[in-house]
């Protein structure tokens, strides 16, 4: 009979899962990981041109590659973004503003030079905004983000930690749904009309969620959330020099993209103006 060797808990050394594959992003404060892509995206909302968006995509991919994330990994992790970008490209190409040479016309569908350039610019802008945002936010810990929002941005702790608790409990909904389904089937009331079964089970889940939220609110009030006194924190959240480096990069990248678009004359194209 073979022996089963069990490692005692004190001898187990499990490495913590890194918050990001990038050594640079992993060292940023969660608040910085939320603000940096927002800063990079703001200039792109003021224009719709090919040069600024494509320049920002190239610079972002190159810097992420330097920071430790391979472009193939970026493509694999952001595939929904590319699908959404294609989804925005097609309708603008077919039904966008008609200008310049007309390539194809059929009923209400008109593919022209203007609609093609507008569709390309829209596709690139969606990618330029969404790809860095997804990469920065992947792997972020909700608890660390909540600590940063309260301690650095000074948002109300009652609402921030309440939202954190809701996110933590959101994973319980699947288990609750399964438990409700098994309970109803054990009582013989889960084999009827599937539509009515889903609706009644969803109502039961809603009641259960409200009861859980009431208990959570009571527990938070008992622990002093919402009081006028200054709270103490078990985990300190601070900005470090690398965070300011991230902010600087987030300003430099769109500045280069916008400057290049202005220099080449693509900033605020005539076909984009009203």
- Does 218 have pLDDT greater than 50? yes
- Does 212 have pLDDT greater than 90? no
Across-strand partners of 105? 110
Residue 274 confidence (pLDDT): 39
**Residue 54, token pair as written in the block:** 């494509």
Print the SS3 string covering the chain: CCCCCCCCHHHCCCCCCCCCCCHHHHCCCHHHHHHHHHHHHHHHHHCCCHHHHHHHHHHHHHHHHHCCCCHHHHHHHCHHHHHHHHHHHHHHHHHCCCCCCEEEEECCEEEEHHHHHHHHHHHHHHHHHHHHHHHHHCCCCHHHHHHHHHHCCCCCHHHHHHHHHHHHHHCHHHHHHHHHHHHHHHCCCCCCCHHHHHHHHHHHHHHHHHHHHHHHHHHHHHCCCCCCCCCCCCCCCCCCHHHHHHHHHHHHHHHHHHHHHHHHCCCCCHHHCC
- Does 7 have pLDDT greater than 80? no
In this predicted structure, which of 3-7, 49-53, 64-68, 112-116 has the lowest mean pLDDT? 3-7
| Cα–Cα dist 120/252, whole Å | 24
Q: Vertex 105, ends 102 and 106: CA angle to 5°? A: 175
- Does 14 have pLDDT greater than 60? no
For the chain, percent of residues with pLDDT exceeding 70: 88
Q: How confident is the model at residue 252 (pLDDT cuts 50, 70, 90)?
A: very high
Residue 126 confidence (pLDDT): 93
| Cα–Cα dist 13/17, whole Å | 12
Residue of 225 and 77 predicted with greater confidence: 77
Q: How confident is the model at residue 250 (pLDDT cuts 50, 70, 90)?
A: very high
- Reported as a single tens digit per residue, the pLDDT across 88-115 is 899 888 887 777 777 777 877 788 888 8
CB half-sphere exposure, 120, CA atoms < 13 A: 11
Quick one: average pLDDT of 153-168? 84
pTM: 0.78
Count Cβ atoms below 10 Å from residue 114 Cβ, excluding itself.
20
- Does 270 have pLDDT greater than 70? no
Quick one: average pLDDT of 143-149? 90
Quick one: average pLDDT of 121-142? 91
Quick one: average pLDDT of 71-78? 90
Residue 272 confidence (pLDDT): 41
Quick one: average pLDDT of 111-131? 89
Residue 133 confidence (pLDDT): 92
Q: Please, are residues 77 and 138 in contact by the beta-carbon 8 Å criterion? A: yes
Q: Please, are residues 40 and 53 in contact by the beta-carbon 8 Å criterion? A: no
Give residues with Cβ within 8 angstroms of 236, minimum separation 6. 147, 151
- Does 192 have pLDDT greater than 80? no
End-to-end, the C-alpha distance of the chain in Å comes to 82
- Does 85 have pLDDT greater than 60? yes
Residue 56 confidence (pLDDT): 93
Q: How confident is the model at residue 33 (pLDDT cuts 50, 70, 90)?
A: very high
| Cα–Cα dist 67/153, whole Å | 26
Quick one: average pLDDT of 27-38? 93
């Amino acid at each position: 009979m073979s022996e089963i060797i069990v490692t005692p808990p004190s001898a187990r050394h499990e490495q913590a899962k890194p918050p990001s594959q990038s050594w640079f992003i992993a060292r940023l404060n969660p608040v910085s990981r939320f603000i940096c892509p927002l800063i990079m995206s703001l200039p792109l909302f003021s224009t719709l041109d090919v040069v600024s968006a494509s320049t920002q995509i190239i610079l972002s991919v190159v810097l992420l590659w330097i920071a430790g994330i391979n472009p193939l990994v970026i493509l694999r992790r952001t595939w929904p973004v590319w699908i959404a970008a294609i989804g925005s490209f097609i309708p603008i190409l077919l039904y966008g503003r008609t200008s310049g040479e007309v390539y194809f016309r059929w009923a209400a569908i008109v593919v022209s030079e203007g609609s093609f350039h507008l569709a390309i610019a829209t596709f690139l802008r969606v990618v330029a905004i969404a790809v860095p945002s997804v990469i920065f936010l992947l792997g972020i810990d909700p608890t660390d983000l909540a600590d940063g929002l309260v301690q650095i941005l000074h948002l109300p702790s009652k609402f921030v930690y309440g939202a954190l608790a809701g996110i933590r409990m959101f994973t319980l909904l699947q288990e609750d749904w399964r438990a409700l389904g098994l309970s109803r089937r054990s009582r013989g009331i889960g084999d009827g009309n599937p539509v009515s079964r889903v609706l009644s089970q969803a109502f039961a889940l809603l009641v259960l969620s409200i009861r859980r939220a009431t208990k959570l609110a009571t527990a938070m009030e008992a622990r002093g959330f919402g009081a006028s006194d200054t709270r103490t924190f078990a985990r300190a959240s601070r900005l470090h020099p690398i965070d300011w480096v991230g902010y600087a990069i987030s300003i430099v990248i769109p500045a280069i993209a916008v400057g290049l678009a202005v220099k080449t004359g693509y900033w605020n194209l005539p076909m984009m103006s009203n």
